[in-house]
Each structure stands twice: as C-alpha cells, then as structure tokens.
Structure 1
Amino acid sequence: MSLELDRRLADVGTRFRIFPQPRFLMKADGSGPLFAEPELVIVSIEPAAMRPGPGDDRMFVVDAIGKLPYNNFFRPPFRGTKRDPIQPDSEGHFDHLDPATREFSAATMYATVRRVLDIWEDYFGRTIHWHFESDFDRLELIPLIEWNNAQSGYGFLEFGFGRSPNGTIDHTRPYCENFDVLAHELGHSIIFAEVGAPASRQDEGIDYGGMHESAGDLVAIVSSLHFHSVVDHLLESTRGNLLTINGLDRVGELSDSREIRVAFNAMRMSDVGDEPHERSLPLTGAIFDTMVEVFQHDLVAKKLITDDLRIRSTNLPGTAQDLDEIQAEFTAAYTGSEDAFKESLLRARDYLGRLLAVTWSAISADFLTYHGILRAILQADREITGGENAQIIRECFAWREIAPVPTSMLLRPHTLASCGFQANDSGSAAASPRDRLLPDPRPNGSATTSAHL
C-alpha cells in the first residue's frame, strides 16, 4: 500500500520538487507563506526511461508558444510552435530547477500529474488506462498559456493563470503549480477511465455529476495527504480533533484550497440541489468522515484517546458537548504522541484510497445513485477488511441523508398479491389464474397447482 510507495521509489525513481500547496498561500497570522519551499517527490519512472519535456510513456509536456485554448474545433495534438523540452541533470533528475523559472513550472505540472497517477495506480493495484486510449497513447500537458483559466479534455490538460480582482491574468498564480487543481482534474480522468459515462439520453446523471466532482476532490485530498508537511500541519493545527465544530473551523482556515474546505463540511442532501459541485458536498463529507472515524477508532485501539472522547468528538453540529473541553483532551493526548497520531492518520488515508479504488472499479455510470455508491462502498469494505467498518460507513452516510429516494423501487413493499398470489377464503395463498393454467408436474395430476414467482 502507499505507506510503502515512497520507500519503493526512493532508489529507482526520478526526483522532482513541487509545492504541496500554492506558494501564494499565507499563514493565518500573515507572517509568511504557508508552504515556503518546494518538497522533493520521486515519481515511478526511472531516470533512464524519462524523456526530455519532461515526459514518459503515459504523458508529456508541451510548452506551447502563442497557443489558444482547445475547443470543439481545435483539439490535440498540438502542432504549433513550442519551446525546447526541459532537460534533466547529469543523473537524469529534475530537482535542480530554480522555482523562479518557467522550466520549474512546466516540470511541476508533469511531476504532479505523474505523482498523483502513481498514488492511485498503487491503490488500484494496476494500471489505469486512459479513457482516450483509442485515439492517443499519452496525455498532453500544456502548462502555461496566456489564459485566465484552465481545462481538462479528451487527451489533454492545459493550464493558464489565476485571475486578478479585475479579471485579468495574474502571472503570479500559475494553475500548473497548484497541486489540488491538477490532482482534481486528473481525478476526473480516473473516473472517466474506471466508471465511464452514462450511455442513455434518458439518464439525467444528477448523482453521476455530483460523484464526478466529489471524486475529483477526494483524489486531490488523499493525494495531498502524501505530503508530510500537509499532514503535519493538519495535525498540529487540530491536535487530531477533526470532527467537532472547533476542528472543522480550524481545518477550514488552513488555506484557500477548495479541496481542504469541501472535505470538512456539514452539508446534507436536504441542503443541496442538482448543481454538481454543490451536490458533491454531502458525498465528499460522508466519505471523508468515514476516513476520520477510522482514524479515531485506531487511536482508541492504540489507547491514545478514550472511546468516550471519540464518541463526544464525533457528535454532530447542534449538540451540547463542551467543545473547548474536547479540544483540551485532544491536545493532551496528542502532545508527546505526535508520531503515533500521524501513523494512524496515514493508515486511515491509505484505507480510504483503497476503499475508493475498489468502489470506483465496481460501480456503473448508468443511472448511478448515491445510494448505489453507498452499497458499493460497503461491498468494498467487506473485500478490504471483512466488513470491519460497515457500521461507521452506515452512520456517516445516514447523517448526510444518503438513502434511496422516496420513489425508489427499493422502497416498494412486495406483497403476495404483487407477486401474483391471491388470498382465498380460508386465508391461504391461492395461485393466480396464470398459474392455474400450468400443467401439474406430478404423475397423478393432483388438483394442487404450483406457483411461479
């Protein structure tokens, strides 16, 4: 599993440096950048197999010159003018690039997408084949076009820059350096590859759209938790108290990252409509709550916190718990046990990654419902743990009001009459006229008929 991923790659992969969160994010007190320096990451491609660009057999960077955004009439591959591909150092690595240069930005885009793909192929336990493989063998990565937007499409990712307050291009905020945005967009590609898209025009795909946005967020969240600095900052800020209102508020203030904010939300199905980003919130919340509950159950098993504290800390908004007291107890438990808390969170992270991979491998895009996703998650947990976390999953989804819709066939009772039986005068079940026409299979031809459901 992914706890072993970095150890496996340390001596064989290619080195890059990337920022775990955008470099413009500031600490809460304004004293400086939240993540001031890029961190070393190692991707699964050996230096000898790397191609200038950077690129490999699955993806490649094209630093296009004067390119307009792709649209319905202008699609990959890009055939225009482009800058020279970025070269590795003498040992085949790319961690020598200066963060102030364009080359660093382009290499960051490759390293982020490759790193996220490595993480999720590790969880799936196999190669994730591109959904566009019938037309292209590699994903085209275009890092820096003059555009105040970014997009993913069939066979490509192309990124511009953030917007200034007046809507113009802000060159200090290249989207290609935003780990969450890149990971989210790759999450969409993973869903297209593994789940597909609805085939019927009569399928409105309301829950499918919400699932897609939720999946993008969850891919980004789980992937970002592979940065030790992000995990350390999360635990230092909350002391492991992730589910009370106090914990939610602290996490929500960590950064401007949409993914960090949407993971910790209190939205239920009755709070949202059909717009995919809004509808994704209860599903993302239920799944992330599951990870946090697994994390806290592990803390109890290790006797790092009491079961009483776990129960009180998972009480939902609107309860009468003393939140300051809960936080004080978490702080006392966390102090001196920081490494043990981190180990439990990383194990919960990897459980969630594997749970999602098994779930996404099993569900169909056609007429998808959140309740169907819940059943697939329960089945995935049975495969991974033997059903150890089933009650946690049920409770997290029930609070989010994820259940069959009132008109679902699953909720309809099936009586004897609806199954084709009729009650006779004696109160016993008699066969329907259709059944009485069936021949008696017994040799003596008794008057008793057989019933067929």
Structure 2
Amino acid sequence: MSLELDRRLADVGTRFRIFPQPRFLQKADGSGPLFPEPELVTVSVEPGGMQAGPGDDRMFVVDAIGKLPYNSFFRPPFRGAARPPVRPGDDGHFDHLDPASREFSAATMYATVRRVLDIWEDYFGRTIQWHFESDFSRLELIPLIEWDNAQSGYGFLEFGFGRKPNGTIDHDRPFCENFDVLAHELGHSIIFAEVGVPASPFDEGIDYGGMHESAGDLVAIVASLHFHSVVDLLLDSTKGNLLTINGLDRVGELSDSREIRVALNSRRMSDVGDEPHDRSLPLTGAIFDTMVEVFQQDLVARKLISDDLRTRSTNLPGTSQDLVEIQAEFTAAYTGNEAAFKDSLLRARDYLGRLLAVTWGNISPDFLTYHGILRALLQADREITGGDNVEIIRACFAWREIAPVPTSLLLRQHTIADCGVSLGKGATVAGGRAVADPRIPGPRVNGVTSAARI
C-alpha cells in the first residue's frame, strides 16, 4: 500500500516542494517556525505528462486576475484574464520555485491536491472519477483570489487568504498553501464521487452531513501522516501515547490545524447536535481511535510496550498520577525504538486508509446512519484482515455511543407469533392465515380428510 507509494514514484514522478503545515505556525516555545522549509514530494504525473499551470489530465491551475468568487450564477470554467502559467524547470520538475514567490503558491495548490489524490487512489486501488465528470474532465484550481475565504464547488476549488485580527485580508496566510484545508476540501469531492448524495427529498441527511465533514478531516489526517516530519513530530511529542489526556495536550502543540485537533477529541453522540461539523466529532474520534488502537496493538505484538500499558492508556485513567506514570512508561518504551514505533504508526495509517476506502466504496448515501457506517467498517475489516480488528472497531464506536437510534427497526423485538410461526397444535401461519400442518391428518368430511380447522 502507501508505504510503497513514494518508492514507486521516486524515479518516475514530478517533484514539487510544499509545506506540510502552514509556514506561520510557531514552535511551542516561540523559538521559530514549526516547519521552516518546504518538503520535497513527488506526484504520480511524469514530467513528460505535466502541463504548464501546473496541470495534468485531471486538474489544472489558473491564476485568475480580478476574479470574484464563484456563486450560483457564476460558475466554471473561468474565461477571464489570468497570469502566465507556472512552468517547470529545465529538468521538467517544479522544485526550483522560490517559496516567497506567487508561482510557488500556485504550484503548491496543484501539488497538494495531486498528492492527496495520489494517496487516496492508492488506497482505493483505482482511479477516483470526479463527481462532475458529466460536465468537466478536469478540476479547476484557483489559488489566490482577493477574498478572505475559500470554497470548493462543482468542478473547482478556489482559495483566498486568512484574516488579520482587525478583519482585513492577511496576505501572509494564503489558504492555497494550507495542506490540511486543501486536503479536507478534496475529501468532500472524494465522498461526492464515491458515496454520492441522498436521492430522497424526505431524507434529512443528518448523519450524512456529519459523515461528510468527518471524511474531509480523515482524508486530511491520513494524507498529512505521509509527511515524515509530521509523523516524527507527532511521535516525538507523545512518545506514542496518543490516547491519554496528556497526549492530547502534546499533540495540540504540533499544529493549529483543525483536522489534528478534531481527531483527538472526547466527544460522544450525547455531546453533539445536528450541525454537521459538531456531529462529525464522535465519528472522526471513533475512527481515529481505531487507528491508534491498531497502532498500539502492533506495538504489543512487537513487544515494544506491554499489554498492561496499552490497556491502561486506552481506558483513560482519571488521576494525574496515572497519567504521569503512563507517559513515563511510553517515554521509556519509545526511547531507542523510535524507528520501530514509526513503522507501526505508518502501518496503522495505511490500514486506516484502506479501511476507509473500502467502506466509502460500499455505503449508500440514502438515509445514511452512523450505525450503518459502523457495520460497513466491520465488513471492510473482514475483507482486509479477515476480521482481526472487529473488536477494536466495536469498542471504539461503543465508547462514542454510536449505535442504532432507539426508534430503529433494528431494535424491534419479534415474537414467534409476529413471524407467523406460533400456533396451536399442528398448525402454522402463512400470510396471516392459519393453515394445517400437512403431516397431521385433519377431520374427515364425507370420507375425505380435510384441512384442520383452527
């Protein structure tokens, strides 16, 4: 799976540099940028198949001039004035661009979306066809419009800038360089393509909306864990202790991104309402917990931590003394075994990516429920591992209170009489009528055995 992706692309793909997290993020001690330099990534498109823009057969960048945001009356394709397309270097790659340049921002937007698509197509094991393919063959990427917002829509992604405290546009914070935001928005496109949308006007889509936001976050989380720097910071900060409360605090130091923070939450269904972002939290948490449990299960199997430590960290002990002791044990286990911990986490990451791809490929959008997603995840695990992790999945979802709603027909009790098989001596029920068991003779009428009368 994706552990092999970069090795496969290294010699054939096109090189870019992108920041794994926004460059304005600072270290917890304020000593400098958390990610001072962009990292090298390779996308699946060969240099010979790359177009100026950048662009390829699936997506392209157009750096529009003076463009207003798309709306219900103004939609792609953009036909206005645009800056010259960004071109590759003499070697066909884009890793020469100056991070201070506008060209770098445009190339970053393309490289991020292309990279995330590569990762998830690898998990799906096939091409993800755009949900707008009936109208457009390529996704339009607009990187830097004069707007303090960003949006995705039918056939496009267009991004502006963040805001300053006084509410004005902050040109030092372009959304098109924010890996998590771009990955999250592409996640919505993946769900539209692979799951679809509810067909019935009577379907309120409450859990569908929560699933959509959760999927966007999970697409971003799994994709961000393909940066070695992000994985290294995560493990160095937590020492592999991702479930206890001090682990949550330390991960908070890693990034201001919404995706990392929402994954590490303690919300249950009784804590949230119907608003999609709020409702997404228990689902995202349950699925992220599953990845962490699989990670720790592998650590136990490789004798890197004890089963007792795994159990105590999973059950979230409540005293500060417990937490300090657990963290000390994780620190001792991690020290000297950093590479092994990282390998286990990457394997858990790829398991989660494949689990989600199989699940999303199999669920229906119509009257979708979180319980239905749970059952699809269990079925996906049986397909991937033979059911090795079904108990982990069940436990993680049970803690989040994800179960059939009380009014679900799944919880309805059925008596034998309801099912039409409970009767008096020698009889059954068919279609609501009593009929005789043909093996038992009935009363004789004019010398002929008749049906038994109930």
TM range (shorter): over 0.9
Superposed CA deviations along residues 394-428 of structure 1, whole A, max 9, x for unmatched, are 0000000000000000000111222234543x6x8
Q: CA deviation at 1:325?
A: 0.7
Alignment of 1:165-244 (within 5 A): 165-244=165-244
Report what 2:26 is aligned to: 26
Unaligned runs of 5+ in 2: 442-447
Alpha carbons of 1:433 and 1:299: their partners in 2 closer, same or farther (altered >3 Å)? closer
Alpha carbons of 1:413 and 1:87: their partners in 2 closer, same or farther (altered >3 Å)? same
Report what 1:339 is aligned to: 339
Aligned-partner SS, 1:171: strand
TM-score computed with the length of structure 1 as normaliser:
0.96
Aligned-partner SS, 2:433: helix
Q: CA deviation at 1:221?
A: 0.2
Would you say the 8 A contact 2:427–2:436 is kept in 1? no
Alignment of 1:303-314 (within 5 A): 303-314=303-314
Report what 1:447 is aligned to: 451
Q: 1:123 is aligned with what amino acid?
A: Y
Q: CA deviation at 1:434?
A: 3.9
Report what 1:363 is aligned to: 363
TM-score computed with the length of structure 2 as normaliser:
0.95
Q: 2:22 is aligned with what amino acid?
A: P
Aligned-partner SS, 1:152: strand
Alignment of 1:75-154 (within 5 A): 75-154=75-154
Matched, 1:35 2:27: no
Report what 2:284 is aligned to: 284
Superposed CA deviations along residues 327-357 of structure 1, whole A, max 9, x for unmatched, are 0111010000000000000000000000000
Whole-Å separation in 2 of the counterparts to 1:277 and 1:38: 30
Alignment RMSD: 2.0
Would you say the 8 A contact 1:238–1:250 is kept in 2? yes
Superposed CA deviations along residues 351-399 of structure 1, whole A, max 9, x for unmatched, are 0000000000000000000000000000000000000001000000000
Q: 2:345 is aligned with what amino acid?
A: L
Whole-Å separation in 2 of the counterparts to 1:304 and 1:185: 37
Superposed CA deviations along residues 298-332 of structure 1, whole A, max 9, x for unmatched, are 00011011101110111136478711011011101
Comparing 245-254 with 278-287, greater Cα deviation is found at 245-254
Q: CA deviation at 1:435?
A: 3.3
Superposed CA deviations along residues 133-177 of structure 1, whole A, max 9, x for unmatched, are 000000000000000000000000000000111221100000000
**Divergent runs of 4+, >2 A:** 316-321, 420-424, 428-449
Q: CA deviation at 1:447?
A: 3.2
Would you say the 8 A contact 1:14–1:93 is kept in 2? yes
Whole-Å separation in 1 of the counterparts to 2:440 and 2:427: 20
Whole-Å separation in 2 of the counterparts to 1:129 and 1:97: 30
Comparing 433-442 with 390-399, greater Cα deviation is found at 433-442
What is the percent sequence identity of the aligned residues?
82
Q: CA deviation at 1:429?
A: 6.2
Q: CA deviation at 1:433?
A: 7.7
Alignment of 1:295-444 (within 5 A): 295-316=295-316, 318=318, 322-424=322-424, 430-431=428-429, 434-436=432-434
Q: CA deviation at 1:193?
A: 0.1
Aligned-partner SS, 1:322: helix
